[in-house]
Structure 1
Amino acid sequence: MRDDDGSAALEFITVGVILLVPLVYLIIALGAIQEQTLGVEAAARHVARTIALAPDPATAAATSERVLADVSGQYGIDEGSTGLTVTCFPAGAACPSAGAIVTVTITASVALPLMPAVFGSDTAAAIGVEGSAVQKVSRLWGTG
């Protein structure tokens, strides 16, 4: 008969580590993705509001770039992977214009944590996130 004293504790530790490491990584990765998702949503909302409240198109463009950079810095979003798209309804009119509905869409790429920058694996293991916001521009926009 074999002596199995103490082997259960060793097996529990081994299996526990094998299961715990991926679980901890998953929690860290999901936290990073959630942070970036909240960041692009906040950035889209603030940029849309900035465009709607600006007195003219030049101020809207300059201020929205500063707001996007500020919010990106607060949420740790890589500005190199950030894309900004501004569209207006009705289509065909100048964007932004008085009375238009402005839609701001911001996209970003979230690099998964602990991915080495070897052979481009850090960019291959990136998750795209997107946030959109809609804002109505005043009928008197640009007149004052």
Structure 2
Amino acid sequence: MLPSSRSTDRSVLWADDSGSASLEFITAGLVLLVPLVYLVLAMSSIQAGSLAVEGAARQASRVFVQSGDIATAQSSAIRAVEFALTDHGIDPDSASIVVACAPDPSNCLTRRGFVTVTVELSAPLPLVPPVLVGDFPVAVPLSASSTQQVSRFWGGG
């Protein structure tokens, strides 16, 4: 072979792309697909937590205003929150419940009074180990409030 034909063969070999398309597809696919899948998992976890706190607050305020006395109302509201969070696969112990009453904060069950139930929790991000602690968030705080009015015909004790 002549030296000039040898350099031509090398340039042809370097320019040949046969078989590299699959390698490029796998590399680009992993680089783009892994973050996209994690984003979908994270958003679904946050959405599930958001639906859980919203449903829990709404149901807790409903059962609170329909109860006969304050003790029954509080236990019914706690049960409603526990049920709603468990239904969405969230540990009820991770949530906090706050009940506020207006116009009389000392007596929630007054006719035409308003009861506001607020439920707060932190939705953990998926695939984050619990031992990971730092200056970055590993959970998203979620909060929902619901206000219901006590019936003007309420006649509880």
**TM norm structure 1:** 0.90
Shift in alpha-carbon separation, 1:112–1:75, aligned structure 2, 3 A: same
Query: Quick check: which has more Rg, 1 or 2?
Result: 2
Indicate if the aligned counterparts of 1:48 and 1:134 stay in contact, CA closer than 8 A. Answer: yes
Indicate if the aligned counterparts of 1:56 and 1:142 stay in contact, CA closer than 8 A. Answer: no
4+ residue runs of structure 1 moved beyond 6 angstroms? none
Range with greater deviation from structure 2 (112-121 or 43-52): 112-121
Give CA-to-partner distance per residue, 1:92-143, whole Å, 9 cap, x none. 442243321111111111001111122436x941001111111000234353
Indicate if the aligned counterparts of 1:77 and 1:108 stay in contact, CA closer than 8 A. Answer: no
Specify which structure has the bigger relative contact order, considering alpha-carbon pairs within 8 angstroms and separated by 6 or more residues: 1
Give the whole-Å Cα distance in 1 for the aligned partners of 2:84 and 2:105: 30
Are 1:42 and 2:55 an aligned pair?
Answer: yes
Tell me the C-alpha RMSD between the 2 structures: 1.9
Aligned length: 143
Shift of 1:31: 0.5
Shift of 1:91: 4.7
Q: Structure 2, unaligned stretches of length 5 or more?
A: 1-10
Give CA-to-partner distance per residue, 1:12-36, whole Å, 9 cap, x none. 2101111101100100110111011
Q: Structure 1, unaligned stretches of length 5 or more?
A: none
Give the fraction of aligned pairs with identical amino acids, expressed as a percent: 43
SS of alignment partner, residue 130 of structure 2: coil
Are 1:127 and 2:140 an aligned pair?
Answer: yes
